[in-house]
Structure 1
Amino acid sequence: MKNAIPLFILALMVVACKNSKEKEDPNQTEEQMNKIENPLLSESTLPYGAPDFSKIKDEHFKAAMLEGIEQQKKAVEAIANSEEEPTFENTVLALEKSGELLNKSSQIFYALAAANTNEILQAVEAEMAPKFAAQNDMIYLNDKLFKRFKTLHDKKEDLNLDAESLKLLKEYYEDFEIAGANLSSADKEKLRQYNEKIATLTTKFGRTLLDANNAGGVTFTDKAELAGVDEDFLKSKEHKDGNGWTIPLQNTTQQPLLQSMENRASREKLFKAAWHRADQGANNTSEIIKELVEVRAQKAKLLGFNNFAEWSLQKTMAKTPEKVNDFFSGLIPAATAKAEAEAAEIQKMIKAKGQNFTLEPWDWNYYAEMVRKQKYDLDENQIKPYFEINNVLEKGVFYAANKLYGITYKPRTDIPTYHEDVKVYELFEEDGEPLGLFYTDYFARPSKSGGAWMDNFVTQSKLYNKKPVIYNVCNYPKPANGEPALLTYDEVETMFHEFGHALHGFFANQKYPSLSGTAVARDFVEFPSQFNENWALYPEVLKNYALHYKTGEQIPHALIDKIKNSGTFNQGYSLTENLAASNLDMQWHTISSDKKIDDVDAFEKEALQRTKLDVVHAVPPRYRSTYFSHIFAGGYAAGYYSYSWTEMLHHDAYNWFENNGGMTRKNGQRFRDMVLSRGNTMNMEEMYKNWRGSAPKIGPMLKARGLK
């Protein structure tokens, strides 16, 4: 997942604010002294301008961001009130250059707020959310500023701009229109109120869900209840007094341990804890959801749209909710039919094991694993010893990047980090030219949001001679001290996925930061990351990193074959749970402004019934509404479909590689030059067609899923 950043940051610059170092004045106020001592107010002296976490403290963020807001306000006022005729330089480029400090400080702040939060950061996040919404409105609802952009846009063909500069002008102009620049003054004031409310509610949802996840961990006091669970994992979750084990919740509906838990009552207990984590008690998110979707619908109506999805999809590849729903209808029948067949197989396995109960969601993964062992003779515990975390990264993820793109790396232990689990690598081009810094933060902890994501500390920009500083965050279970971190194959794919996002950012080659790297359409941004997953099972790559953590033995061919042969196993379940979540997202965001939702649970059930995604009782949505962080706290409102949409792109793209020689430097370079390095400098459909030679087809995706 590409981590979502507040919309206003897209209009900001990425270079650090240079602060002159003057001698201390004894007459300066305490506030002025704090500004001088705040490391966020000056340029970092670390390589690549990386944040110096040895100096940055929690209390620095609010002061720096407030100062950044004031600096940008002054810059925008100067542009809007200028008496000079608007030019690209004094209007478009000037806005692109505004907000240097705000962008730098907020990028670092949001990284910590998601990956290593605390009460101080949560309070700052809640306080700043409406201020950021107001800042965005200050730019995009400014009549004078919009008039200058409209003047330039109307004569854009006469400005003799290069292609990237012209794209920047068009992007800003479209952003003004989408944000409501054409509304009346009275309606703009209403819109400001809606935006402030939405910002407050999304922040509240995220904070409440984090509390729900932490409070929802399940405690077991009898080891018999945890029969089948990996001993090393249990060691890491055992209470200090030795009187029990607490299993933390992961962000999805299904929990990884359900695959190995032998005790059915324990499985049910863990599943229901996940299912009900945020629908009751102090951490119930239902009221937040109802209010949030209502305000989003009102905002859409004010902007002239029938629903929020119509407004939100304007700059995507799909364009409309109807096209998304058409895409769903091409997948749902095949997915649910496959899931029904899988459920029947699993029910037979339950009966073969001497049980006579009906398959429930908490049984699926446990008995599906038995079916997989029977059909493919593949046991997840057989393969985990070959997936030691450092080997997967350095001999797998980095190795694949070297083969395709010539990338090399070296660890950097001299760069300060925000947590002891974070590691830093410096990446290099094939000719040794520095490419950027890469941070990894892989282990789960209570201070971290669920899921996995990528983002930038520093965004690439030729305008400011900035190379990228990028981080990947995951939530793998942390092993006990001295024990190796062994990954499941799904976790291996996640690491390849997130590094695909990183490559998209590292290969950025843009002049303007707001067009750089991953600043692309939401239903395109997951394409490079999903595509990169393909190399996890590529024979040359797999043999290089899949080494037994004790013996160093290469993974046997027999196990490789089993992994490949089982590739289409459980795909009906996997696609159906994703489509169910995507459908919930679209249903929530196609609500009209005059519809009142009284019961979140009832709405959810009806939404799944309407699209026949509830036909297999034992396949719940990947996320229930009450803990659907992507759409109620992240940047994926009316956009979760993009994971399936970009899956279509990535299978179609990999099909091209298969037909053109596979993993070669030539193919990798072509993909880099024509896709990964282009950022948001051209239309996404055009970009894909130029590289692929045709529009994407859904066939390779259905084949890869075993649905065709």
Structure 2
Amino acid sequence: MTNPLLQPSELPFQLPDYANLGDDQVREAISIGMAEQLNTLDAIATNPHIPTVANTLEDWERSGATLTRAMNAFWVAKAADTNPVRDAIEEEFAPKLAAHGDAILLDARLYERLLQLKDRGERGEIELDAQDSHRIEEHLRAFRRGGIALPEAEKERLRALNVELATLSAQFQELLVAGRNAAGVHVTDPAELDGLSDDDRASARSSAEAAGLDGWLIDIVNTTTQPALEDLTDRGLRERIFRASVARGLAGEHDTRELAVRTAHLRHERAQLLGFEHHVAYVAGDGCARTTGAINQLLAQVAPGARELVEREAVELQALLAKDAPDATLEPWDWQFYAARAAAANSVDQQALRPYLEFERVLHEGVFAAATALYGITFHERPELVGYTADARVFEVREDDGAVLGAVVIDPFTRPTKQGGAWMTSIVDQSLLFGDLPVVTNTCNFPRPAAGSPSLLTWDNVITLFHEFGHDLHGLLSHVRYASLSGTAVPTDFVEFPSQVNEIWAWEPALIARYAVHHETGEPIPAEWIDRLVAGRRQGIGHQTFETVAAQLLDQAWHQSAVEELPGGAEEVEAFEAGALEAAGVSFPLVPPRYRSAYFAHIFSGGYGAAYYSYLWSEVMDADTVAWFREAGGLSRETGERFRRRLLAPGGSVEAMDSYRDFRGADPDVRHLLERFGLG
């Protein structure tokens, strides 16, 4: 059978032929794609003709076509629906891909050719437009950061470091998913499930059946906090779930600590080899922050206030607990339960809200409707197209004049083979050079409904769906020449910004009235509930901010510490973590970090090592942009068009902060974020 990844797909949108794509074909396509790219780049490096945009930049973009096609098709399927073969492919190719990247970035011939092309443009021999010049500068920066100036012996060490780090990342992720699945809490007594919704009980029953167990299985999600803790009245079961969550990766066959320690040590060595004080300095230099000092300053502005807010919330929750158990002391496993009660008193009861948050309606009348109101785009399901899982659904996206813009693939429900959390990926990158339309994905872990029943979301699920769709819009509305700079190909501390902005439309009263309709009666959500929901938006913001900032500071500790201060082995990880939180002023046992070290996928198996701060950095721009939207008229085509053309469309084809200033007319003002947190 012909490998469908070895040439552009003939399916609509160049969607990979998942129906006829086997894992062995992925392995073959990755191998061939790497070889093809190196051969093409060698031809560029040895081309006897003087460098031009066509024979250098454009040929460079074409060089990775097969590899990009294979990797984009593979990564989304592997993350959403892994199996032992896919795990093995990732572990096999992670070091090979790292070596492949080094083969490019340590090739002095390619670096010299780029310098020649830049020089020709500066001397006026050829015309380089803004996107050409930026693409050249981004290439050159990658070479410099990739070690092109190192002596050969140090280049060899760098190659070894990159290969081992890639291997460790793949191993951490594999252990993490297995450990999360193994941490599920088995329940046999139905009385323990008091407070849990019928939908969540059905989901727990399905999980138990899938695991070959009687009763119910409460699945553990990626974060320290667990959704079930909001609803379960049984304090003992809440404690079991919490302890199962925070104990992940600390012992046994799924222990990730040694991988984390080794990763931190190697990253530190690599940073110093490349001339940086530590890994944070290396990462910051490639982002909007630019310096370690800028990162530390922002965290220092927020952390003390977040601590003050969360301590106030603790007093309120202790008082609520005392009404049920006068002699009890508030514990971490009580927090979410009583926070939900506080929210019900001050806002809207979350369980009462769920019947109004049916997934299909939230998707169409909320997420899609907001995008239509802002950008004029519409969404049309293509049920004949096959996605990367049985749950994945393909939607064609059209401009307001009917022109096809691209496609989005929605995969909403949890499964044991899916990594935790929620994310967006790109299957096809938008490119004017190639004429490619974008294909993006939206992958979440919402509870799977029982057969024949609707999927009812929590309010947090709604926010997640809007957030991830903000990433989708960044990819869909990209309008750039080079695929390698399209959509979300922006600095890590900028990439979360558009997705955070998109969350604000979940709170838009007129939109809530459209998507929040009782799934059984058809009754719209009561108007007073909308008012209370919006008014209570800051309810629990202390917990949310504190747990995130604590995780951000923990990330910085792993990647700013001198090597002698890092753990020497697995047995020192918990003490290191505790000491780091204490030193940063965020040690508060009632609210642990959003991710503890042993299951901190973002920094040890994702792209956020030393960059988890980026969520806060992006939120500065988000809060500033929300202020602009309010001033400019809110949810409208006029505001959406400005945001689209000046901020989303340029993708990575210009400096990120230049596009922000073009959109906003100024640098972001941190005052708006501090006001959001109640710290202004």
- Contact 1:412-1:426 within 8 A present in 2 as well: yes
Note if 1:541 corresponds to 2:511: yes
Paired residues of 1:526 and 1:646 also in contact (CA < 8 A): yes
Corresponding letter in the other structure for 2:578: K
State the distance in 1 between where 2:529 and 2:163 align.
54
Q: How far did 1:702 drift?
A: 2.4
Count of aligned pairs: 671
What TM-score results when the alignment is normalised by the length of structure 2?
A: 0.97
Distance, in Å, in 1 between the alignment partners of 2:651 and 2:448 is 35
| Residues 403-442 of structure 1: pairs in structure 2 closer than 5 A | 403-442=373-412
Letter in 1 for 2:586: L
SS in 1 for 2:389: coil
The alignment's C-alpha RMSD in Å is: 1.3
Deviation at 1:312, TM superposition (A): 1.4
Q: Please identify, of 192-201 and 221-230, the stretch whose mean Cα deviation from structure 2 is larger.
A: 221-230
SS at match of 1:453: coil
Residue in 2 that maps onto 1:192: 159
Q: Is 1:623 matched up with 2:588?
A: no
> Aligned-pair distance for 1:229?
1.0
Shift of residue 353, structure 1, vs aligned partner: 2.1
Q: Which residue of 1 aligns with 2:139?
A: 172
Q: Which residue of 2 aligns with 1:612?
A: 585
- Aligned equivalents of 2:563 and 2:99: distance in 1? 23
Alpha carbons 2:478, 2:486 under 8 Å: kept: yes
Q: Structure 2 matches for 1:66-145, cutoff 5 A?
A: 66-145=31-110
Residues 354 and 426 (structure 1 numbering): CA distance in 2 closer, same or farther, change over 3 Å?
A: same
Specify which of 382, 386, 397 is matched with residue 352 of structure 2: 382
One-letter code of the match for 2:40?
A: A
Q: Contact 1:122–1:207 at 8 Å: present in 2 too? A: yes
Counterparts of 2:196 and 2:79, CA distance in 1: 29
Partner residue, 1:451: 421
Which residue of 2 is the match for residue 691 of structure 1? 663
Aligned-partner residue type, residue 292 of structure 2: P
Q: Secondary structure at the match of 1:425?
A: strand
Question: In the TM superposition, what is the alpha-carbon distance from 1:242 to its structure 2 partner?
Answer: 8.2
Q: Deviations over 1:88-139 (max 9, x none)?
A: 3323332222121011001111111111110001001100001100110010
User: What is residue 296 of structure 2 aligned with on the other side?
Assistant: 325
Letter in 2 for 1:138: A
Contact between 2:627 and 2:672, CA under 8 Å: does it hold in 1?
yes
Please give the per-residue CA displacement for 1:464-504, whole angstroms capped at 9, x wherever unaligned.
10001111000001011111101111110111111111111
1:211 aligned onto 2:178: yes
The normalised TM-score by structure 1 is 0.93
1:520-569 Cα offsets, whole Å, 9 max, x none, are 11111111100000001112211111111011111111111121121111
Q: Give the counterpart letter for 1:295 in structure 2.
A: L
Partner AA of 1:164 in structure 2: Q
2:456 corresponds to: 486
Q: What amino acid does structure 1 have at the position aligned with 2:662?
A: N
1:369 aligned residue: 340
C-alpha offsets along residues 288-310 of structure 1, whole Å, 9 cap, x if unaligned? 01111111111011101110111
Q: Secondary structure at the match of 2:427?
A: strand
How much has 1:243 moved relative to structure 2? 3.2
**Which whole-Å CA distance do the structure 1 matches of 2:45 and 2:549 have between them?**
45
Identity over the aligned pairs, expressed in percent?
40
Match of 1:226 in 2: 193
Aligned pairs for 1:555-594 (under 5 A) are 555-594=525-564
> Gapped runs of 5+ residues in structure 2?
none
Q: Does 1:340 align with 2:307?
A: no
Separation in 2, partners of 1:83, 1:39: 34
Q: Aligned-pair distance for 1:640?
A: 0.7
Question: Which segments of 5 or more consecutive residues in structure 1 lack a partner in the other structure?
Answer: 1-33
1:123-172 CA distances to partner (integer Å, 9 max, x unpaired)?
Answer: 01100001100110010001221122223334542242011111111110
The residue aligned with 1:8 is none
Match of 1:12 in 2: none
- Cα deviations across residues 253-283 of structure 1 (Å, max 9, x unaligned)? 0100001111111111000001001111000
1:437, distance to aligned residue in structure 2 (A): 1.1
Paired residues of 1:233 and 1:480 also in contact (CA < 8 A): no
Paired residue type of 1:507:
L
Shift of the alpha carbon at 1:84? 3.1
Moved more, 592-601 or 59-68: 592-601
2:476 to 506, 511, 531: 506
Letter in 2 for 1:258: L
Q: Please give the secondary structure, in 2, of the residue aligned with 1:176.
A: helix
Report the Cα distance in structure 1 between the residues aligned to 2:371 and 2:387, rounded to whole angstroms.
Answer: 24
Q: Please tell me the residue identity of whatever aligns with 2:63.
A: S
- Equivalence for 2:266: 295
Corresponding residue to 2:130 among 149, 154, 163:
163
Note if contact 1:43-1:49 (Cα within 8 Å) is conserved in structure 2: yes
Match of 1:647 in 2: 619
Shift of 1:595: 4.5
1:603 aligns with 2:582: no
1:151 corresponds to which residue? 116
Q: 1:592 to 1:147 in 2, by over 3 A?
A: farther
Report the equivalent of 1:43.
8
The one-letter amino acid paired with 1:610 is A
Q: d(CA) in 2 for partners of 1:424 and 1:654? A: 30
Q: Is the 8 A contact 2:386 2:393 kept in 1?
A: no
Cα-to-partner distance string for 1:207-250 (whole Å, 9 max, x where unaligned): 01011011111101111222111122212322448831111110
2:601 maps to amino acid = S
What code does the residue aligned with 1:121 have? R
How far off its partner does 1:670 sit? 1.0
1:424–1:440 CA contact under 8 A, matched in 2 = yes
Whole-Å Cα distance in 2 between the matches of residues 235 and 255 of structure 1?
17
TM-superposed CA distance for 1:388, in Å, is: 0.3
Q: Which amino acid aligns with 1:128?
A: F
Matched, 1:181 2:148: yes
